[in-house]
Amino acid sequence: MKHYNIPVFISHFGCPNSCVFCNQKKINGRETDVSLEDLKNIIDSYLETLPKNSIKQVAFFGGTFTGISMSLQKDYLEVVKKYIDAGEIQGIRLSTRPDCISDEILKQLKKYGVQTIELGIQSLDSKVLSATDRKYDEGVVENSCKLIKKYEFELGIQLMIGLPCSDLKSDYETAKKCLELKPDIARIYPTLVISGTELQKMYLRREYNALDINEAIFRTKKIYALLETNGINIIRVGLQPSEDLTAEGVILAGPFHPAFRDLVENEIYRDFLFEIIKKEKKLDIEVNEKNISRIVGQKKKNKKEFSPYFNLKINNDLDKYKIKVNGKLYERSDILKRELKE
């Protein structure tokens, strides 16, 4: 059964932290910008168009949901709970900070049908956390993840590559440490310089160098392979190209691409094919048609690079993630593990 999110973007104006990459505004006297009536209207609008026979979750994104007051959290949750009780929605997911988790908060979330909690971990490198003004340490993250697992929520982690003071090693070491937290799902975001942030000022003062697209792909692909080979479901790679994000003047620098995940996948398969062609000097490839784009690459990049050795044949008897090259069958794990070689 297909899954759909009903996204509700709740800013947290009362957030006590000002992370350098965040552009949320401070508005005195207001906790957030979505009224209870707004929430109801958003849900009703989506329910009119989403298939009846599907799994639907209300997804509170955009801010630090558990950082707002307990009473306002309860008000939001009560609105959604009525739809859950009526069978129109199957649950709730939300994103928040590691330092905004407690027993009291989790008990309330459980009571009202929250199923998934995603933590914006971003990094577990102390220098990076300090440089980005996150105001928590690795121990806070570990304790929050343990609590979330204790209450049997699905645990999600959000990682950012290319933050100030990070490098390839620190980004990868963060991902390795995250394996110990036993997350169920993950998102990987390359850092972008967004207008109105402290990072913009750092960038303009030349105190921060944004990653280019090639470096971002290079850093991401190894983390991507590590998480997937350890059974973590990667639900997004790269920021979604929303209207707010793609408006002129919003992104000042950084590796934004509307199909960033595809670029990472293309490069992983490119590395795999390159190793084979070095040894065997030919590429007779059989793949399921659903896997062709990963093999060929965007704008046929991989096909052009490996021409004239590149011979591709569709074989829909193969599983989507399996590939046969020069008569040998390779599993998805075979391809990913090549990225993890030191």
Whether residues 98 and 219 share a domain: the answer is yes
Number of folded domains that form the chain: 2
Residue 249: the pLDDT is 82
Confidence of residue 222 (pLDDT cuts 50, 70, 90): very high
pLDDT tens digits for 300-323? Answer: 999 999 998 999 999 999 999 899
Whether residues 197 and 331 share a domain: the answer is no
Whether residues 302 and 254 share a domain: the answer is no
Domain encompassing residue 16: 3-258
pLDDT tens digits for 179-207? Answer: 999 999 999 999 999 888 899 999 999 99
- Give the largest CA-CA distance in the chain: 68
Whether residues 220 and 309 share a domain: the answer is no
Mean pLDDT of 324-329: 97
Residue 27: the pLDDT is 40
> Which of these three, 258, 288, 313, is where a domain ends?
258
Helices 260-280 and 213-229 sit at what angle, rounded to 10 degrees?
80
Q: Kindly list the distances between the CA atom of residue 11 and the CA atoms of 71, 83, 158, 299, in Å, as whole numbers in the listed order.
A: 16, 23, 17, 38
Mean pLDDT of 294-302: 94
Locus of tokens 């093999």: 295
Answer yes or no: is pLDDT of 239 > 80: yes
Cβ-Cβ contacts under 8 Å for 118 (sequence gap 6 or more)? 93, 94, 95, 96, 155, 156, 157, 158, 185, 187
Residue 13: the pLDDT is 60
Mean pLDDT, rounded, of the chain = 92
Q: How many CA atoms lie within 13 A of 158 on its CB side?
A: 18
> Which of these three, 258, 286, 312, is where a domain ends?
258
pLDDT tens digits for 9-67? Answer: 887 665 666 688 877 654 445 567 889 999 999 999 999 999 989 999 999 987 789 98
> Which of these three, 227, 258, 289, is where a domain ends?
258
